[in-house]
Chains A and B, each alone.
Chain A
Amino acid sequence: MEDEKIPFWRDSRVLRIVGQVVALLIVFTIIFFLGNNLVNNFQRLGLTFGFNFLDRSASFGIANPPIAYSSNDPYTKAILVGLINSLRVMFFGIIIALFLGIIVGISRLSDNWLLRQLATIYVETLRNTPLLLQLFFWYFAVFLKLPRIDNPLTFGRWVFLTNRGLDIPWFGDAQQTWLGLSVIILSIILLVVLWRRRIYAVEEQGESGQIWSWLSIAVAIAAMIIFCFGLDWDIPELNNNNIAGGLNLSPEFATLLIGLSVYTAAFIAEVVRAGIQSVSQGQWEAARALGLQPGLVMQLIIFPQALRVMIPPLTSEFLNLAKNSSLAIAIGYNDIYSISNTVANQTGRSLEMLLIVITTYLTINLIISLGMNWFNRAVQIKER
């Protein structure tokens, strides 16, 4: 046998490099083609690309802006209002969905037949119908069917519920309010410290720790008094078919918040159920054999172990909720997508606004992922 040189088209090292070059070429061709197409279309229509238009006056109104906004503010401010509105729904939505989801998920495994069936019906109904449909249902069949403004539902004279939203007392923007709020936050920190001291005294020193209990109660009462009287409360008042003062939570906000949370909770419930069922039966039996109550078994043994399985899929559900909040536009809530749409429509800068919206959602979701990944690492078994 002579020492034959392998031709390059059969040399796997060369082929591998060629394959990668070809793949890269294809990707670049596609990008170039799309970019070229875009540039051509912009030229054909005589359009330019740029973000200078964002400084111009928005000249459209926004209902219930969370920060001071008027129609002669620039587009950037309008977009900021939208962003805050979006974040508001995402933040409270995730909290409500999580709690509701855990309750329903545990109920699906309950020994109580009725509870189990109810939880099953909840999950199967909400999981198997489109979210948009549910939002329309909440909006037109629930929140807009609430009593009209001339005959509002009132709770203790201070809370009004009508089809124009929920009006609740809210603190005014006075120095007194901020002072009061900081005192309350300080008392909460103090309470946590005091409570830890009590537990330390009970567990480590074998004392009754009653002094710490009394101190905690005193701090709590002081905080409550400041909460009730120290803040500059602005109470809603009804006169002449109009509610003035207080904070108005619009039916659009309520619809989106409730719709998103209730829908996502159905998925979270399944994640929770899967997590709990992944903990082996032996753990249950061992805990029961130690004489723990079923509630305590769940709280101390099963749930912490289930959490490890639950967190990665839970992250996806949170991300879904954040993205689904863009359906706000269908029910007239001013989230970032809906406001960007209006801006794009007024200025004709669809591409620029799309880029802004994409970047915003990407950033928000990356932050959520980052936070959840950190939390995930914190609850995993520490292997040393």
Chain B
Amino acid sequence: MSIKTYWKKQWGSLLITGIIFASLNGCGNGGDNTPSNGENSSGTSSLLDRIQSRGNLICGVNGQLPGFSFVDENGEYSGMDAEYCRAVASALFDDPAQVEFRDLSAQERFTAVQSGEVDLVSRNTTWTISRDTSVGMEFAPIIFYDGQGIMVRKDSEIQDLEGLADKSICVLSGTTNEQNLADQMRKQGINYQPVVFEDVDAVYAAYEQERCAGVTSDRSQLTVRRAVLANPDEHEVSSVVLSKEPLAPMVANGDANWFDAVKWITFALIQAEELEINSQNISSFENTEDPQIRRFLGQEGNLGEDMGLPNDFAARIVKHVGNYGEIYDRNIGQPFGLDRGLNRLWTDGGLLYSPPFR
């Protein structure tokens, strides 16, 4: 054969070897790069920075619970938990619309945070020690003090847990409700049949069809759900309180910057109400002399910048979403007539208390 074809062949095989090596190299790089990104997340760069450069917040919510987070027919989210996500987005981007909501089931929520699928979960989640430690969560301040209750049919005349002996009780899987019910029943030595569903709509559908004599959940949820049953008057939330259910937003463990930001955004909602700043009157505080308010709204000092947020983050939140009281009234107080109870400010005899913004 001529030298020309020989060279051609040789070049061909060289080319192939080159491609193989290049792709191997690529693989190696890919393998090296991604873990080092992962290391970054634990070391230098915080989720806070990545969210800011991404330009939107990915927020995990319930989506099936009116008053807390509920998707309407236009795909719009309403409710207190959803508004909380908007408050965080307002603080970060000065735009409450920069939120991407993800519906999560009770089962999915922890894995979604662990895996980084969502930045933040605001999904009526009870703060417990095991979730905080062994599950690897980090809880922001409590935004709703609740307790577990039981809803039964009025005509069943069940008053307490003993009335539910040997009966079926519908409950959502993966909740503290499931465990509290078991604890209380064990304490009182009552035999019962838990009927456990993964989907919250299925729980109430089964209860409505009389599969269960009662349904147990947080009292706020029962009240809200009762309102959307076919005949709300036939049901009542009994006065029994089985547990305390402090509901709080949560983020993943091990990212102090992001956790601090979420924590103080939550406190800002409470502090704003305490300072009597709301979305209507915020403009009147522009030239205030009160140093406490000036610091809070970022007119002096740099409380925000010290943790990687803009200085006026609290002002942005109040401007776009309002203070805690406004959010509560808009989503839970007015639509469902639920008394604020423990969810009042400490100055009014409630439990909401923000550390000083100083």
Contacts and interface: CB of A to CB of B under 8 A. Distances in A.
Interface in A25-84: 25-26, 29, 32-33, 36-37, 40-41, 43-47, 53, 59-64, 70-72
Interface residues of A, number: 55
B194 to A, nearest CB: 4
Interface in B207-253: 209-211, 252-253
Interface string A127-156: 000000000000010001100110000000
Given A45-B136, A330-B202, A347-B130, A32 B31 contact: yes
Contacts of B166: 242, 244
Interface of B: 9-10, 13-14, 17, 20, 24, 27-28, 30-31, 34-35, 38-39, 41-42, 106-107, 110-111, 114-115, 130-131, 134-136, 166-168, 173-174, 178-179, 181-183, 185-186, 192-199, 202, 205-206, 209-211, 252-254
B196 A332 contact: yes
B134 A140 contact: no
A263 B335 CA distance: 44
A329 B130 CA distance: 24
A341 interface: yes
A348 B135 contact: yes
A338 interface: yes
A330 B198 contact: yes
B346 to A, nearest CB: 32
7 contacts: A9-B14, A33-B31, A47-B134, A59-B183, A148-B210, A242-B166, A338-B196
A247 B136 CA distance: 42
Contacts of B210: 144, 148-149, 163
Contacts of A347: 130, 134-135
A332 B107 contact: no
B135 A44 contact: no
Contacts of B194: 60-63
A117 interface: no
B198 A329 contact: yes
B114 A61 contact: no
A44 B258 CA distance: 14
A22 B20 contact: yes
Contacts, number: 145
Contacts of A59: 179, 182-183
B171 to A, nearest CB: 9
Closest 7 CB pairs of A and B: A348-B135, A345-B174, A45-B136, A71-B182, A144-B209, A63-B193, A61-B194
Majority secondary structure of chain A interface residues (helix, strand, loop or mixed) = helix
B182 A60 contact: yes
A365 B193 CA distance: 31
A140 B168 CA distance: 17
Interface string A252-284: 100000000000000000000000000000000
A251 B202 CA distance: 14
Contacts of A344: 107
Given A252-B195, A330-B199, A347-B135, 4 more contacts: A9-B14, A329-B173, A338-B173, A342-B174
A44 B42 contact: yes
B179 A346 contact: yes
B31 A63 contact: no
A71 B173 CA distance: 15
A163 B196 contact: no
B311 to A, nearest CB: 30
Contacts of A145: 209
Contact of A61 (B35, B182, B254): B182
A63 B197 CA distance: 12
A251 B211 contact: yes
A250 B212 CA distance: 12
A10 interface: yes
A345 B183 contact: no
A330 B199 CA distance: 7
Contacts of A330: 197-199, 202
B198 A341 contact: yes
B186 A71 contact: yes
